[in-house]
Structure 1
Amino acid sequence: MDAAIDGVHVADTPSGQVPVVLVGVADTTDVLPIFVAFEKALAIRRGLDAEDTPRPFTHDLLLDAVEELGGRVEAVEITGLEEGTYIAELRLATPRGSVTLDARPSDSLALAARTGAPISVARSVFDAGKRETDAFTDLRDIRAVTE
């Protein structure tokens, strides 16, 4: 299923603030919430905002390395859900052909945010984790929390 990052937000919970990336899927109003660490959420937001930094962060460095070696990010797919943890695959085009890497969804989404690579979600994963968008309307954008 074709997908896109709908936003990077922060949920206030009894145990503190928890970042959540909302992944929307074409032709539905539901979203797939993926809870991530603050650093990953900020990396995704920086990618979406095309924010320049004086020194590369980890995702910028990885992308620079892939591109310097003649590769590019082809696609990201969220492929599985195992014991509450999402599984993703990162597809790279390389001079030797296409390569698929096991990856965390947060890292994959950070790279997709930087490159505009297409994002997809397996239907079974979306169906298992989807939530109504209205459940997240009161969340704050991560930029409001970190500024």
Structure 2
Amino acid sequence: MIEMQLGGLGFDPRNMSPIILLRDLDERNFLPIWIGMFEAAAIAMELQEFKPPRPMTHDLLVGIIDILGAEVDRIIITEIKDDTFYSSIELLVAKEDGLQDPPSEGSKKIIRENIEYEVEVIRLDARPSDAIAIAVRTDAPIYVSEQVMFKAKMVNAEKDQEETQKFKDFIENINPDDFAKYYKNNS
């Protein structure tokens, strides 16, 4: 797995579709993911710290996860099939007596405030845009499988510096407020 971070949010200049740009921590590899307008608005509003008067779907999901005592551990872009990305959200859930056994990916030990806990790891299937919208709300790390990086024909900054710089310039000049304005005007 390769840890990535949200490198930008903007529009593809060819078709004006919203796009998320993930980049690795060394800023050598980039992964563009095209998403829907409403998902882009949800991510942009969180990045701009804009709080709507009523919770959006991703805010509601994060609230439910929190109330149930679970924690978003990480999100993973798991595969790409027919130009469609797939991802999962990994939750950490404390196992308590009397609760039905959740569909678990196994257990692991975590330490919080110097106390060690045994937790179940629950993996939920999610669209990458939804998983990333939840990650930005919970500060959860974003990972991409090596297989996805290979299949998506990642841009290597050393091999294609000029194209990478053009794309970086484009992303840096996009204003996330545009998404919030779109959401306000269309909701």
Q: Distance in 2 between matches of 1:108 and 1:71?
A: 16
Determine helix, strand or coil for the equivalent of 2:54: coil
Q: Which residue of 2 aligns with 1:107?
A: 130
Determine helix, strand or coil for the equivalent of 2:149: helix
RMSD of aligned residue pairs (Cα, Å): 1.7
Deviation beyond 6 Å, 4+ runs, structure 1? none
Q: For 1:127, which of 142, 145, 150 is the aligned residue?
A: 150
Deviations 1:56-97 (A, max 9, x none): 000000110111111111100111001100111100112332
TM-score (ref. length: structure 2) = 0.71
Q: Which residue of 1 aligns with 2:77?
A: 78
Residue identity over aligned pairs, in percent, reads: 30
Considering fraction of residues, name the structure with more strand: 1
Q: Is the 8 A contact 2:48 2:176 kept in 1?
A: no
Q: Is the 8 A contact 1:19 1:142 kept in 2?
A: no
Q: Is the 8 A contact 1:3 1:118 kept in 2?
A: yes
Q: Which residue of 2 aligns with 1:7?
A: 8
Unmatched runs of 5 consecutive residues or more in structure 1: none
Kindly state the Cα deviation for residue 99 of structure 1 after the two structures are TM-superposed.
0.5
Kindly state the Cα deviation for residue 28 of structure 1 after the two structures are TM-superposed.
4.2
Closer/same/farther in 2, CA of residues 135 and 81 from structure 1, 3 Å limit: farther
Q: Distance in 1 between matches of 2:149 and 2:47?
A: 22
Amino acid corresponding to residue 63 of structure 1 in structure 2 = V
Q: Which moved more, 1:94-103 or 1:31-40?
A: 94-103
Amino acid corresponding to residue 47 of structure 2 in structure 1 = L
Q: Is the 8 A contact 2:48 2:177 kept in 1?
A: no
Q: How does 1:1-147 map to 2 (within 5 A)?
A: 1-13=2-14, 16-96=15-95, 97-129=120-152, 130-131=154-155, 133-136=164-167, 137-139=169-171, 140-143=173-176, 145-146=178-179, 147=181
Closer/same/farther in 2, CA of residues 28 and 12 from structure 1, 3 Å limit: closer
Determine helix, strand or coil for the equivalent of 1:51: coil
Between Structure 1 and Structure 2, how many residues are aligned?
A: 145
Kindly state the Cα deviation for residue 50 of structure 1 after the two structures are TM-superposed.
3.0
Q: Is the 8 A contact 1:42 1:142 kept in 2?
A: no
Q: Distance in 2 between matches of 1:145 and 1:71?
A: 33
Q: Which has the larger radius of gyration?
A: 2
Unmatched runs of 5 consecutive residues or more in structure 2: 96-119, 158-163, 182-187
